Copies of this chain bind each other. A is one copy, B any other.
Amino acid sequence: MTSTRMAVRRRAHSGAVTLKDVAERAGVAPITVSRALNAPDSVSAALRLQIDEAVSALGYVRNQYAGALASAASRIIPVIVPSLSNAVFIEVIQGIQQVLEEAGYQPLLGNTQYDLERESKLVATLLGWSPAGLIVAGMRHSERTRTLLRGYGRPLVEIMEYGAQPIDMNVGLSHIRAGEAMGRHLIERGYRQIGFIGGRLKQDYRAAQRFRGLDNALAAAGLPRRPPFEHDEKSSAAIGGDTLMQTLERAPELDALFFANDDLGVGALLRAQREGIPVPARVAIAGFNGLDISALTTPALTTIVSPRQRIGELAARKLLGRIHGEKPGPARVDVGFRLEIRAST
């Protein structure tokens, strides 16, 4: 009876080549094949050769699900960023991807669209992949996200900003200090009416931190402080140009403008050029990020260079280090920034 059932119940399987097939061809036990693939040193050279032959002859590809299920460990590393349309995150992802791929790990992309609710849902979903670790942009999370992440108990790196209370590890830079540095530079250059332009500062709170830095510098120098000139659209060069014009109309006394990022800054510069507004004579323009193109405009754009790709690489390295149980380095890394003074200020 039982045997009948078993026969009947055989499930149509995927038809793919399995470990067992390889083992049969190589004349060894499946577990030996498993070892030959996962820890080659633990298998004799002779068997390893036979097994390698069988693997390539049959075109065997390891079933990731079975492996992950059996070992309760995966080589998945979710990377959660607020946006994909921003060149900055792309470069970070590039850095991460390069390091992870070399080590045989697979990044899983998650996009929160600057929404903490979405972030929380994303984290929950991505935890279903039993990740070996996680990389998350930013240090502001909903309480639920924090609970999930802390409860998960695997290595985690929060990136982009450098902050005091990382959940686990942290690789980034201080946007406040970057803003202060830019503020001090503008003040030193003799500008006295300095404004900040950025978009959606409640969501893009790192841009807001740069504003705060500028504001600190202005306060310290006893110069007039202004609320940021905020726009509602996604940052882009076109918006940078538009806001430049609007802002100069609304506040003609301004003699310097610090843009929240280089997309805006470059756009403003190109627009100024087109409109015949002399930069920096009429108004100085500064950006943030150090995109390649910022060096090529006329005048070139003063900006703060953030080591974006390096943040990604470093975060991935620290994560892998912890996953592999190496001795932990510092929990927090400040990658710093570089003020690049060019002709636009």
| A-to-B contact residues, CB < 8 Å | 13-14, 16, 59, 61-66, 68-69, 72, 74, 84-85, 87, 90-91, 93-94, 97, 101, 106-109, 111, 124-125, 127-130, 148, 236-238, 241, 266-267, 270-271, 273-274, 292-293, 295-298
Q: A97-B111, A109-B97 are in contact. Are A237 and B129 (CB under 8 A)?
A: no
- Residues of chain B with a CB closer than 8 A to A109's CB: 97, 107, 109
- Residues of chain B with a CB closer than 8 A to A298's CB: 270, 273-274
Residue of B nearest to A66 (CB): B69
- Bound CA span A63–B66, Å: 12
Set B94, B127, B130: member contacting A84, Cβ < 8 A: B94
Dominant secondary structure of chain A at its interface with chain B: helix
Minimum distance in angstroms from A312 CB to a CB of chain B: 11
Q: Is the CB of B106 within 8 A of A108?
A: yes
| Copies held by the complex | 2
Q: Is the CB of A296 within 8 A of B72?
A: no
Residue of B nearest to A11 (CB): B72
Minimum distance in angstroms from A123 CB to a CB of chain B: 10
- Residues of chain B with a CB closer than 8 A to A238's CB: 292, 295-296
- Bound CA span A129–B296, Å: 44
- Bound CA span A66–B292, Å: 45
Q: Is the CB of B74 within 8 A of A84?
A: no
Minimum distance in angstroms from A222 CB to a CB of chain B: 37
Minimum distance in angstroms from A99 CB to a CB of chain B: 12
Q: Is the CB of B266 within 8 A of A293?
A: yes
- Bound CA span A65–B66, Å: 7
- Residues of chain B with a CB closer than 8 A to A128's CB: 61-64
30 residue pairs from A and B, CB less than 8 Å apart: A13-B72, A14-B72, A61-B124, A61-B125, A63-B69, A64-B130, A65-B65, A65-B68, A65-B69, A65-B74, A65-B130, A69-B69, A84-B94, A85-B90, A90-B90, A97-B111, A108-B108, A109-B109, A236-B292, A237-B292, A237-B293, A237-B296, A267-B293, A267-B296, A270-B297, A270-B298, A271-B296, A274-B296, A274-B298, A293-B293
Which of A64, A87, A125, A292: most chain B Cβ within 10 A? A64
Residue of B nearest to A267 (CB): B296
- Residues of chain B with a CB closer than 8 A to A85's CB: 90-91, 94
Minimum distance in angstroms from A146 CB to a CB of chain B: 13
Minimum distance in angstroms from A269 CB to a CB of chain B: 9
- Residues of chain B with a CB closer than 8 A to A101's CB: 111
Q: Is the CB of A241 within 8 A of B296?
A: yes
- Bound CA span A125–B60, Å: 10
- Bound CA span A267–B298, Å: 12
- Residues of chain B with a CB closer than 8 A to A84's CB: 90, 93-94, 97
- Residues of chain B with a CB closer than 8 A to A108's CB: 106, 108
- Residues of chain B with a CB closer than 8 A to A97's CB: 84, 109, 111
Residue of B nearest to A151 (CB): B59
Residue of B nearest to A73 (CB): B14
Set B62, B125, B296: member contacting A270, Cβ < 8 A: B296
Residue of B nearest to A299 (CB): B274
